[in-house]
A and B are shown apart, each in its own frame.
Chain A
């Protein structure tokens, strides 16, 4: 597609439920990133994919968070047993590769509210 596409755009879930957030990167982009941004806060790196592998998972906050990428394209971020502190906007971004000169482009985000 023309840009990074994320779904759902908004999700309200009850504490303890699992949620799945989807990201469809720009066509041809091999690098994919997930970030989290809480209200009024900076960007928090979660995980990076190169193709289908995740060489950098250092930002995942707990084992309730996991992500996968299939076919070198779509990625899913799963949060199990959601907690109220998980409420944030989850931003997906992609770039041609992780080389230093490559610009990353963001999707519009998935706004998660845990009640």
Chain B
């Protein structure tokens, strides 16, 4: 079992819809969770970080964390074509531990 798993996609949604991206992780002691966006040919950029169970909202983005079920998700409301990218989930198990990356989910928002 991979340490951080994401559906590779592509996930295709129409413009204006909600895109839901999911990530599961295997290490129960994981403490920090990050969502990065990577456009084709570019480097990853941070979208959101979340550390506590529940929801965290930032503009059109909402991160949801459920440590009991070991998943973290990213919701993108009112999806735009400019949101088309690969979304990477990253998980850190604690201080001085390596950040573990998923392989990413490719999102396509269709006009």
B34, B93, B99, most chain A CB atoms within 10 A: B99
CB proximity of B52 to chain A, nearest CB, Å: 11
Contact A43 B98 (CB under 8 A): no
Write out the residue numbers on chain B whose beta carbons fall within 8 Å of the beta carbon of A99.
Answer: 95-96
For B4-30 the 0/1 string (1 means CB < 8 A from A) is: 000000000000000000000000000
- A64-115: which residues lie under 8 A (CB-CB) from chain B? 89, 91, 98-101, 103-109
Contacts A100-B32, A103-B49, A108-B43 given; indicate if A43 touches B101 (C-beta within 8 A). yes
Contacts A100-B31, A100-B92 given; indicate if A45 touches B98 (C-beta within 8 A). yes
Chain A residues with a Cβ closer than 8 Å to the other chain, count = 19
- Contact size class for B? 20 to 34
| Interchain pairs with CB closer than 8 A, number | 46
Question: Which listed residue (B45, B94, B95) contacts A106, Cβ 8 A?
Answer: B45
CB proximity of A110 to chain B, nearest CB, Å: 10
Write out the residue numbers on chain A whose beta carbons fall within 8 Å of the beta carbon of B95.
Answer: 98-100
User: What are the 9 A-B residue pairs with the smallest beta carbon separation, nearest first?
Assistant: A42-B103, A106-B43, A100-B92, A100-B32, A100-B31, A43-B101, A99-B95, A100-B94, A109-B43
